[in-house]
Amino acid sequence: MEQTNQDSSLFDLKIDETSKDLLRKVATWAMVVVVTSLIGYVTQIIQLATARNRAVEYEGFKFSERSQSNIGSTIFSIVVGLFLTYFLYQFASLSKKGVEAVSQPDLNKSFLNLKYYFMVTGILIIIGFTIALLVMLLFGASSMSR
Amino acid sequence: MEENQSVFDLQVDQAASQNLLGTARWAKFLSVVAFVCMGLFLILFLSLQSQLSRGLSDLIPGLGASEGFGIILVIIIIVIGIVGLLMYFLLRAATHIRGGIETKNQQQFNAGLGYLKSYFTMYGIIAIIGLIFKILGLFSK
């Protein structure tokens, strides 16, 4: 990292006062997103727990309001969300630390985490699209064969 | 302001440039995919107009077919408008950050960071509103 710092010339881009101010604001709002996401996941877990406990009794039989697949998809979405939130948290905390302490390695790590955040989101979208496309193709094929 | 900077100040060095260019590439991909998805969704929604209108009037007896469709269309347009603005900020951020790094243009780079700030500000506000509704939903049950 030090090597790359030495390589940069006087004509390179700088993190000037405007950039620092903007980065601080980006980090603050990214942290807001992180905190709201975490509270959201807790809310989802509470919803899941209360729905599981709320079993409906009908003619002596107990029925759970939530199906197993629903629980699975909620847990999966929370795990994926936590994974993404971690990268955003790393970006927010490291960029703030980098700007405040004038630390080039921290700032570089924060940009790397921002890249990972968008990259993982992009990969998830590609996977989601592929699954949706496959489901549509299977649905179309099954409806045509009838 | 820039003249006051010393050699020990922060810079967009080789590693930072690589990471920011990667960020810009993925951010651009995300925003373009979002725009395409919104367009496809709107086309699909308009093409299924008659089926949706019929379904809505069956679901809510007092509601006319065109009225129900109109209400949903307005909601969808508002959502598309909000998400579209969010993705516009992301696309502008990606384009300006990339352009700023490639041409070593400080103003363009800062403009990119400005758009990134707008993106995260809007995202944060939407997240707060979403959370409020989620919590209200939790207590209403």
Question: Do strands A55-58 and A61-64 pair parallel, antiparallel, or not at all (unpaired)?
Answer: antiparallel
Chain B residues inside the 8 Å CB shell of A14: 2, 5, 9-12, 106
More confident residue, B117 or B73: B117
Give me the percent of chain B exceeding a pLDDT of 90: 65
Q: Helices in chain B by DSSP H: which ranges?
A: 14-47, 49-59, 65-103, 106-140
The residue of chain A with its CA nearest to that of B120 is A29
The pair phi, psi for residue B12, each rounded to 5°, is -90, 85
Q: What pLDDT does B1 receive?
A: 43
Angle between helices B65-103 and B106-140 (to 10 degrees): 150
Q: Above 60 in pLDDT, residue A6? A: no
Average pLDDT for B60-85:
85
Q: What pLDDT does A3 receive?
A: 44
Average pLDDT for A112-136:
93
Task: Find how far residue B76's CA is from the centre of its chain.
Answer: 15
Q: B71 pLDDT band (50/70/90 cuts)?
A: confident
Average pLDDT for A110-126:
96
Q: What pLDDT does A110 receive?
A: 97
User: Which among A2, A15, A88, A121 is the top mutation candidate for probing chain B, defined by the most B β-carbons within 10 Å of its own β-carbon?
Assistant: A15
The reply to whether residue A36 touches residue B100, judged by beta carbons under 8 angstroms, is no
The reply to whether residue A108 touches residue B101, judged by beta carbons under 8 angstroms, is no
The 3-state DSSP class for residue A57 equals strand
Question: If you count DSSP H runs as helices and E runs as strands, how many of each does chain A have, helices first?
Answer: 4, 2
Average pLDDT for A23-52:
93
Are the beta carbons of B109 and A13 closer than 8 angstroms?
yes
Q: What pLDDT does A21 receive?
A: 96
Q: What pLDDT does B58 receive?
A: 75
Give me the percent of chain A exceeding a pLDDT of 90: 59
The residue of chain A with its CA nearest to that of B22 is A115
- Per-chain mean pLDDT for chain B: 89
Question: What is the spatial distance between Cα B88 and Cα B78, in angstroms, rounded to a whole number?
Answer: 15
- Per-chain mean pLDDT for chain A: 85
Q: What pLDDT does B7 receive?
A: 58
Q: Above 70 in pLDDT, residue A7? A: no
* Residue A106 identity: D
Question: Whose CA is closest to A2, among B6, B17, B104, B13?
Answer: B13
Chain A residues inside the 8 Å CB shell of B117: 22, 25-26, 29
Q: What pLDDT does B4 receive?
A: 47
- When CB atoms are compared, the residue of A13, A102, A108 closest to B106 is A13
Q: Above 80 in pLDDT, residue A64? A: no
Q: What pLDDT does A70 receive?
A: 80
* Residue A72 identity: G
The reply to whether residue A32 touches residue B128, judged by beta carbons under 8 angstroms, is yes
The residue of chain A with its CA nearest to that of B4 is A16
Chain B residues inside the 8 Å CB shell of A56: none
Are the beta carbons of B110 and A22 closer than 8 angstroms?
yes
The reply to whether residue A26 touches residue B117, judged by beta carbons under 8 angstroms, is yes
Q: What pLDDT does A141 receive?
A: 79
Average pLDDT for A92-96:
97
The reply to whether residue B134 touches residue A32, judged by beta carbons under 8 angstroms, is no
CA distance B41 to chain A (A): 13
User: Which among A1, A2, A11, A12 is the top mutation candidate for probing chain B, defined by the most B β-carbons within 10 Å of its own β-carbon?
Assistant: A12
Q: What single DSSP character describes residue B8?
A: T
